[in-house]
Structure 1
Amino acid sequence: AAKTKSSYINYSIEAPRYTDSAYFAMALLQDYLSDEENSPLIRALTSGGEMLATSVSAYIDTKEEFSRFVIEIITEKPEKADSMMVLTDAVLESLGDNPPSEELLNGYKVSRRCEEIYMSEKLHYYGFTVAPLMAITGWDFFRQFQNRIDSVTAAEIAAACQKYFTPINYVATVVTPASSDTEAVYQAAGPTDEELLAHFRANPPQIHDLNLGKKFKMPEVRALSEEEKRYARYARQIFDNGLTVIVKSNPDSRVFALNVIGKNRSATEPEGKEGITDFVNRLIEKGTTSRNAEQLSQELATIGAKVTLYDNPWIPYDDRYTTRQFSFMKFETIDEFTVKGIELFSDMIAHPAFDSAEVEKVRAEIMGLLGRNSGSTYKIARDKFYATLFSGTAYGRNIEGSPMSIGSITIDDLKAHHRRIYSPENMIITVGTNDDPQKVMSLLKISFERIPKSGFTPIEATRPANPSGIKTAHHKMEKEQIYIYLGNLLPSAKSPDAAALDVTASVLSERLQKVLREEQGLAYSVGAGVTLDRNFGWFICSIGTGAANFARARDGIIAEIEKLKTEMPSKEEVEEAINSIWGSNLTANLSRINQ
């Protein structure tokens, strides 16, 4: 038992070492078992009269001396843990006789090759993603990895499953919420956060200068020619149905990327149905009126498509696109699959099936996420802040919904909201490609101009009243950590002060990190930022710290804000802030999907 909202079942099973040819078969098996629409394990744990698991995933944990095949299951039904393990054992032991089809395997192989292309656009991310495996296996293994994956057959996967899963032997752990306040719970061994901070304040880590003893030379920098400055070509068009489409073309990548924005997310959601946009987005990938979920998944895999419809709940603070301002859908494939990609994604956007069984699966998934979020000090503080600053307006509502609002949403509600939020009048589509922009625009027009006008008039969020005095909100949690949000309203993005506000927030964020985290050791997370909307804006300062540090952390933020009013940033601070903003924007735009 532990202090947790959900229950976790983890399997660790013997797997072939990376030098064994069966390793590559197991690598593809992890794709099969993690495939939401085709995995027999996910089907066993989420289908039927009772949805047992809310998340199922598999991966190979590769070490130099050995490997382990890991399966992770999350459930909201701890009393069913034994039943889930019996089902899991049965599925794994049956894989030797029931391996994935060659058609599915080909899809996984194409997806892996395309994912390599997507990842290679993000050099800052690609390096530390592949480095652990490369460090263990060496360059020769890594260089041949995809070719070895491509050669795997269904028969080889069956043989590997027979060897490692029949009979199955494993180490498993089950972690469940404490059933009462008196039940003994697991406590991690080791120093507390405060003890760690105290240790490193007293024993600062040694700084190593990697340039010492090396002849390191920065690359030469030259100015761009006028021709190079016009490197990208653009096309913009408003289709007859009201849909706005922008195409950017440049030859720096093989990726075809398509973004869909649904404007005014929170303002468009009906009162009492908060979280319905996220509900709709999660159903976009669950089949269309002409393709069931399994067929859609297989067709997307054949072109290596990557579809992102919601932020990853397992990555802390990964909510860049979960905003009150807009909803998003992101689609990636490579240029050679452009025509098929447009045909598939337009079908997903325009004709989601909203199958009743899939609706209930997604509802259970969202309920599980809401349960886990209720234990997050960061998310609770964020939602309390918005509810207080934007009280009585659309932005004050919980963007992820509540158990009550999610439980009340019907299929008719989902269909009606889909017609509004993704109506042509309320959508913007942007495309990145290396193909001719007018050619791509013509392809988009064939598929997307078919979506009929809805007559829907986009709803803009209204500016809330300026707070009078200091407003506070507090939510008590059984946590050693606390999170503080502090902020206020600002002018809109149209304000002549917009750029200055952005730079000022960057300066403030740097000062907060230096003083509260580095010098005073108060924070494990601290920062400041501004968001400027069409009609208004707001700034936020936030800090995560220990409960005993609440007053010092709050007062420290306020002190730095007051100090900024009287002590103008130095020239160096301003330059550093501007460079930081440029660096963040340029890094984000390395990938075509973000351009």
Structure 2
Amino acid sequence: MAIEFKQHTLSNGLTIVAEIAPEAHTAAMGFFVKTGARDETPDLMGVSHFLEHMMFKGTDNRTAEQVDQEFDAIGADHNAFTSSEITAFWAHSLPESLPKAGEILSDILRPALRQEDFDAEKKVIMEEIAMYQDVPFWILYERALEVYYDQHPLAHRVLGTPETIAPMPRDGMLEYFQRRYSADNTTVALAGKVDFDRMVELVERHCGEWQRTDTKREQPKFTPLPNEFTLEHEAVNRAYLLMVSPAPSLDEEERYAMSMLGQILGDSDGSRLYWALIETGLAEEAQAQYDGRDGLGDLLAFACCDPADLEEVQATIRREMDGLVESLTEDDLQRVRSKVATGTTLQGELPGGRMRRLGQLWTYFGEYRSLEDELAKINAVTLNDLRAVAESYPLTPIVTGRLIPKGG
């Protein structure tokens, strides 16, 4: 399918990017705001995610019910997400319905933020935080990143905590919104069968008055410090282990090699950890994953097992990490190269996937990188590249966290 890239920037700094596919049967649009948990002050931790919820609680033009009804009326698949670094709102629909979907999205991006809605939704957020406290991996993951990133804002929890959400004032959210949800901190991504000029005109009409704030993301210096910790939980009967190691940031070319090295180490099947822990029955789950971030990155190794086997599982993971580079083969490289390429291609098969990929890449890099360019980068990785990234970023856990049954 032929893809054409187009880009336009409004006078207020809002950028519109598109991958146009005239032969596609659907179209997608998303608003990507370069803000997330890392951009919050400690006392407002969780405000980005809370604000994502508030976007669907109504505007000066629509009630919350009308937002849902109008999306449903055009049959649009719509959703939103908040991460440490990006908040996004998107819709995927038939091409003829995209202008309406775009008008709804642009409207909800300027929410009413009514006090009564704020107070009601705060209870929903508190319930969501409590729900995740029943998920063992999530408990360990949040704590491990807090310990690893320490005073760096990447330590912030996306959902926040009861201690930050309960006292959070509506005016604090409003100030954060006005500063971070500015035109020059927002990218609109389009994909599929799109009339680009018409969509630019629509965005100009509905978003042209949005303010520019020249907001920037802070990039404080960071050096991880070794640490180990153990949590106990009365509701778990398994042991959970999470190790965190430094890794390349998203703007480093080494990220391709590190992503592949992580898959060789800990993909869900066929990896070193799979054969050493899952196939042998020593652990029920064992994976490794590279997470690239803006300016930083980390490699996570995770396992779940019988508490009696925890020490052996931890020693096995360390042994596999220590011996990984020496054991690498061309077969490893080809297998993971094919898997990564397949996953990347599948992600881009539908306009919705292309839109999310395009929006996130432009938000991070401010430049266009086609799917074909990404595949070429993946296919160009060599064994020497894998060895080099392991030398630059040794597979040595800096932080190791454990979650075990209470009293265990």
What TM-score, normalized by structure 2, do the two folds share? 0.81
Alignment: residue pair count: 349
Aligned CA distance change for structure 1 residues 400 and 560 (closer, same or farther; 3 Å):
same
Q: Alpha-carbon deviations, 1:38-63, whole Å to 9, x = none?
A: xxxxxxxxxxxxxxxxxxxxxxxxxx
C-alpha distance in 2 between matches for 1:382 and 1:264: 21
Taking the TM superposition and a 5 Å limit, the aligned residue runs for 1:487-566 are: 487-509=244-266, 510-518=271-279, 520-566=280-326
- Deviation, 1:517, is 0.7
- Deviation, 1:393, is 0.8
Match of 2:72 among 301, 319, 324: 301
Does 2:28 align with 1:257? yes
Match of 1:392 among 146, 151, 156: 151
C-alpha distance in 1 between matches for 2:163 and 2:224: 30
- Whether contact under 8 Å (2:149, 2:224) holds in the other structure is no
Q: Alpha-carbon deviations, 1:148-184, whole Å to 9, x = none?
A: xxxxxxxxxxxxxxxxxxxxxxxxxxxxxxxxxxxxx
Matched position secondary structure for 1:260: strand
Matched position secondary structure for 2:200: helix
Taking the TM superposition and a 5 Å limit, the aligned residue runs for 1:21-420 are: 231-310=2-81, 322-349=82-109, 351-420=110-179
Aligned CA distance change for structure 1 residues 579 and 460 (closer, same or farther; 3 Å):
farther
- Deviation, 1:496, is 4.0
- Deviation, 1:263, is 1.3
Matched position secondary structure for 1:288: coil
The one-letter code of the counterpart of 1:278 is: H
The one-letter code of the counterpart of 1:303 is: I
Matched position secondary structure for 1:473: strand
- Deviation, 1:546, is 2.5
The one-letter code of the counterpart of 1:339 is: P
Aligned CA distance change for structure 1 residues 413 and 306 (closer, same or farther; 3 Å):
farther
Residue in structure 2 matched with residue 224 of structure 1 by the alignment: none
C-alpha distance in 2 between matches for 1:262 and 1:404: 26
- Whether contact under 8 Å (2:39, 2:85) holds in the other structure is no
Match of 2:186 among 412, 420, 427: 427
- Deviation, 1:463, is 4.3
C-alpha distance in 2 between matches for 1:285 and 1:356: 14
Does 2:229 align with 1:473? yes
- Deviation, 1:341, is 1.6
C-alpha distance in 1 between matches for 2:220 and 2:51: 24
Aligned CA distance change for structure 1 residues 299 and 590 (closer, same or farther; 3 Å):
same
C-alpha distance in 2 between matches for 1:476 and 1:235: 53
- Whether contact under 8 Å (1:263, 1:458) holds in the other structure is no
The one-letter code of the counterpart of 2:241 is: I
What TM-score, normalized by structure 1, do the two folds share? 0.56
- Whether contact under 8 Å (1:262, 1:426) holds in the other structure is yes
- Whether contact under 8 Å (2:18, 2:189) holds in the other structure is yes
C-alpha distance in 2 between matches for 1:525 and 1:591: 31
C-alpha distance in 2 between matches for 1:273 and 1:241: 27
- Whether contact under 8 Å (2:28, 2:190) holds in the other structure is yes
- Whether contact under 8 Å (1:243, 1:424) holds in the other structure is yes
Aligned CA distance change for structure 1 residues 354 and 494 (closer, same or farther; 3 Å):
closer
C-alpha distance in 2 between matches for 1:463 and 1:330: 33
Q: Alpha-carbon deviations, 1:378-428, whole Å to 9, x = none?
A: 001111111111000101121211111111212112222222332112212
- Whether contact under 8 Å (1:305, 1:331) holds in the other structure is yes
Residue in structure 2 matched with residue 458 of structure 1 by the alignment: 216
- Whether contact under 8 Å (1:485, 1:540) holds in the other structure is yes
Q: Alpha-carbon deviations, 1:496-538, whole Å to 9, x = none?
A: 42222121111111111121111x2133322112122332221
Percent identity over paired residues: 18
The one-letter code of the counterpart of 2:260 is: V
C-alpha distance in 2 between matches for 1:463 and 1:328: 27
Matched position secondary structure for 1:408: coil
Aligned CA distance change for structure 1 residues 326 and 550 (closer, same or farther; 3 Å):
same
**Alignment RMSD (CA, Å):** 1.8
C-alpha distance in 1 between matches for 2:239 and 2:33: 34
- Whether contact under 8 Å (2:28, 2:98) holds in the other structure is no
Does 2:242 align with 1:485? yes
Match of 1:593 among 317, 333, 352: 352
Q: Which runs of 5+ in 1 are unaligned?
A: 1-227, 311-321
Between structure 1 and structure 2, the one with the greater Rg is 1
C-alpha distance in 2 between matches for 1:531 and 1:358: 35
Aligned CA distance change for structure 1 residues 461 and 476 (closer, same or farther; 3 Å):
farther
Aligned CA distance change for structure 1 residues 494 and 293 (closer, same or farther; 3 Å):
closer
- Whether contact under 8 Å (1:265, 1:421) holds in the other structure is no
Aligned CA distance change for structure 1 residues 340 and 383 (closer, same or farther; 3 Å):
same
C-alpha distance in 2 between matches for 1:439 and 1:295: 25
- Whether contact under 8 Å (1:267, 1:461) holds in the other structure is no
Residue in structure 2 matched with residue 126 of structure 1 by the alignment: none
C-alpha distance in 1 between matches for 2:58 and 2:25: 27
Matched position secondary structure for 2:151: coil
- Whether contact under 8 Å (2:54, 2:121) holds in the other structure is yes
Matched position secondary structure for 2:300: strand
Q: Which has the higher mean CA deviation after the structures are superposed, 491-500 or 360-369?
A: 491-500
The one-letter code of the counterpart of 1:255 is: T
- Whether contact under 8 Å (1:462, 1:535) holds in the other structure is no
- Whether contact under 8 Å (1:490, 1:539) holds in the other structure is yes
Does 2:332 align with 1:573? yes
Aligned CA distance change for structure 1 residues 430 and 460 (closer, same or farther; 3 Å):
farther
Q: Alpha-carbon deviations, 1:219-269, whole Å to 9, x = none?
A: xxxxxxxxx6xx111111221111121011103433221122221412321
- Whether contact under 8 Å (1:307, 1:331) holds in the other structure is yes
Aligned CA distance change for structure 1 residues 329 and 255 (closer, same or farther; 3 Å):
same
- Deviation, 1:287, is 0.7
Aligned CA distance change for structure 1 residues 255 and 420 (closer, same or farther; 3 Å):
farther
Q: Which runs of 5+ in 2 are unaligned?
A: 355-408
Residue in structure 2 matched with residue 115 of structure 1 by the alignment: none
Matched position secondary structure for 2:324: helix
The one-letter code of the counterpart of 1:563 is: G
Aligned CA distance change for structure 1 residues 546 and 429 (closer, same or farther; 3 Å):
farther
- Whether contact under 8 Å (2:85, 2:294) holds in the other structure is no
Aligned CA distance change for structure 1 residues 544 and 579 (closer, same or farther; 3 Å):
same
Q: Which has the higher contact order (CA 8 A, sep 6+)?
A: 2
C-alpha distance in 2 between matches for 1:259 and 1:348: 12
Aligned CA distance change for structure 1 residues 407 and 287 (closer, same or farther; 3 Å):
same
